[in-house]
Structure 1
Amino acid sequence: MAKSIVCLQSLTNEQEEAIRKAAPGFTYVHSDAKQPDLDALAEAEIVIGWAKGISDCLLREGTPLRWVQAWSAGVEKLPLDRLEQRGIVLTNASGVHAEPISQVIFGFMLMFVRNLHTAIRNQDRHIWNSDGTETELTGKTAVIVGTGEIGGETAQIAKAFGMRTVGVRRIDDPLPGFDAMYTTSRLKEAVTRGDFVINTLPLTDETRYLFDASVFSAFKEGSYYINIGRGGTTDTEALIEALENGPLRGAGLDVFETEPLPEDHPLWDMKQVIITPHVAGLTDHYSDRLVDIFTENMKSYLVSGAPLSNVVDYRRQY
């Protein structure tokens, strides 16, 4: 029986041809994620993407599935325990998002320091006004919690703006682009240094509600919080309290505990908050970059039976 790759995402003809060329000996099959072809999935050795209702078909004993390429960097919505039990290799889309998300981060920061969020609201009401609090990024400190592809790209750009950079991750070994590094266990100490605290974390058992009331209380007075990681890493009620009663001056939020954000949620009406609907990672280059990751990994898969990059560690959940 021919080996097959089933893709649950819509790709261009050129992208599909790139996959076919990288995978000699494999049949390429496209399946609609909204109405997945379960018969095709049951015969797949490699699956690109994921869809509701396919777990039992894919993960029952005896299927040829060996590798799943997730379409996102975060994999918390996939059945990680079952994938691990079956010995399936899972790779994610880490690296695809670095450019667009870092640009959103700087969009938030520039809006805050130049009061552009206020100017837009004033424009809607035809008001010519400035409160005189405009400043700049030069000399400010960005505390970047999560120093992977997105965090690293953000740090490099921050240096070009003349900012100081502080990283927070599981180990405190130095990394290029960062002036200082803290372990996650020292998060409360790290955030005291930040004019901006930027959360790029995935959602795992360790990061869920990591930003709680005790952490927000340690923030520098007048600082800003930016979350483009996962909403579940943040205690929303504690965030609102920090925005209303200090120390936060504002927040740029792309992700939320509940999505879509309910229409009656208090965050909508907070003038010091900028909200985007979980689109920081979206870009017209997304599929091209994901296909590049997959085809590069296909080279090692054909030689050794396993991809080498973007492999998810099931213990860490990323």
Structure 2
Amino acid sequence: MRVLSMVPYSEEALLMLRSRFLKVEFLQPDEISGIENIDVLLGWDFKKGLDLIQEHNIKWVQSVSAGIDYFPLNEFKKRQIVLTKASGLNSERVANFVLMSCLSVSFSMNRLNHNKIQKKWEIPDDLEDSKDQDIIIFGTGHTGSIIANKLKNFYRKIDGVNTTGNNINGTFDNVFIIDDILKRENDTLDYSIVINCLPETSKTIYLFNKKLFNKFSDKISYINVGRGETTNTTDLLDLISNGKVNNAILDVFEQEPLSSNSLIWDCSSITVTPHIAGMLPHFRNKFFDFFANNLSDYLNNKSLRGIVNYNKEY
């Protein structure tokens, strides 16, 4: 059994893996010359990934991230490659970021920061009591559920949206089917804050566009910690300029890093963070622990954590 890692091993991680898996050979890219078969690819190489899979008959790829939109999913499906994502490693961190963002909305921190730059002592006219606000979260999986539980003590109602309408463990006050939301015509969705933690799939690209935003009541706040291409930021900027959307906090973007020419930088109603919502100081150590547990299950023919469903694209 051989594992090729595109992620540099820390000395601590490599020692842990070798002591735990005595019959597994852990390799790095400069150590594979002359080696024919490699079982597992840890991480990904955009230029050489598919060649490595073909040349070394790799059967399982473990992603370093929860997002898997950058993988060639159709090729993986065709070759029957197992792909697992690093689900849940940073969900608590993302939830903390969302809680901070929601409370900053309730206290109008964006407006206050703008006033500070202008040296203006002025009480914002959009201060809210969080207990009077309702929130809807698009994406009710592991991260979405942790976000909901985190917000429950601060907000009046937390609803969710997914593809089935299932409310697993009763985490949400209500769960709606996303297709039903999209079909609504005259029934306004009355929420103060809309949170997007959706994956990127062929069905979610630009899901948050003018048509969807217009289904909500006026002056919503929008938070995106999902994937950048789920949001049409051109539409979002238009809706902010005409007052439909009050403000937005964006941690992910269609293209990263965000171009210095982007109009988003010039919009005072949008808070920009550089994809840090789930960033952990010691992420690599947590990731190798996660992988070690998955590798143990793989060797014992048990179900792996974070298996990607190619039909669902996540």
TM-score, with length taken from structure 2: 0.91
Separation in 1, partners of 2:233, 2:32? 39
Separation in 2, partners of 1:19, 1:146? 34
What is the SS of the residue equivalent to 2:275?
coil
Q: Return the match for 1:172 from 144, 165, 173.
A: 165
Amino acid at match of 2:7: Q
Q: Return the match for 1:12 from 10, 14, 18.
A: 10
Q: Return the match for 1:186 from 140, 159, 180.
A: 180
Amino acid at match of 1:19: L
Residue equivalent to 1:113: 106
Contact 1:59/1:82, CA 8 A, preserved across alignment: no
Contact 2:135/2:155, CA 8 A, preserved across alignment: no
What does 1:265-304 correspond to in 2, within 5 Å?
A: 265-304=262-301
Q: Return the match for 1:88 from 48, 62, 81.
A: 81
Separation in 2, partners of 1:92, 1:42? 25
Structure 1 residue 40 displacement after superposition: 7.7
Separation in 2, partners of 1:106, 1:11? 33
Between stretches 51-60 and 214-223, larger displacement belongs to 51-60
Q: Percent identity?
A: 28
Between stretches 87-96 and 264-273, larger displacement belongs to 264-273
Residue equivalent to 1:52: 46
Q: 1:275 to 1:63 in 2, by over 3 A?
A: same
Structure 1 residue 265 displacement after superposition: 1.6
What is the SS of the residue equivalent to 2:176?
strand
Number of positions where the alignment pairs a residue of Structure 1 with one of Structure 2: 310
Separation in 1, partners of 2:298, 2:290? 12
Between stretches 92-101 and 132-141, larger displacement belongs to 132-141
| 2:186 maps to 1:202 | no
Separation in 2, partners of 1:244, 1:125? 20
Flag structure 2 segments of 5+ consecutive residues without an equivalent. Answer: none
Structure 1 residue 246 displacement after superposition: 3.1
Residue equivalent to 1:308: 304
Q: 1:250 to 1:108 in 2, by over 3 A?
A: same
Flag structure 1 segments of 5+ consecutive residues without an equivalent. Answer: none
Root-mean-square deviation (CA, aligned residues, Å) is 2.1
Structure 1 residue 183 displacement after superposition: 0.7
Q: Return the match for 2:313 from 309, 313, 317.
A: 317
What does 1:240-279 correspond to in 2, within 5 Å?
A: 240-279=237-276
What does 1:142-181 correspond to in 2, within 5 Å?
A: 142-175=135-168, 176-181=170-175
Residue equivalent to 1:29: 27
Structure 1 residue 119 displacement after superposition: 2.4
Q: 1:7 to 1:130 in 2, by over 3 A?
A: same
Contact 2:137/2:194, CA 8 A, preserved across alignment: yes
1:171-202 residue CA offsets vs partner (Å, 9 max, x unmatched): 11223320000011123459813211111011
Residue equivalent to 1:39: 33
Structure 1 residue 41 displacement after superposition: 8.1
Separation in 2, partners of 1:309, 1:191? 38
Amino acid at match of 1:5: V
What is the SS of the residue equivalent to 1:138?
helix
Structure 1 residue 21 displacement after superposition: 3.4
TM-score, with length taken from structure 1: 0.90
Separation in 2, partners of 1:249, 1:95? 31
Contact 2:225/2:252, CA 8 A, preserved across alignment: yes
Contact 1:49/1:71, CA 8 A, preserved across alignment: yes
Q: 1:131 to 1:76 in 2, by over 3 A?
A: closer
Contact 1:194/1:223, CA 8 A, preserved across alignment: yes
Q: Return the match for 1:74 from 67, 71, 77.
A: 67
What is the SS of the residue equivalent to 2:96?
helix
Between stretches 285-294 and 307-316, larger displacement belongs to 285-294
Structure 1 residue 237 displacement after superposition: 1.6
What is the SS of the residue equivalent to 2:300?
helix
Contact 1:145/1:168, CA 8 A, preserved across alignment: yes
Separation in 1, partners of 2:126, 2:42? 49
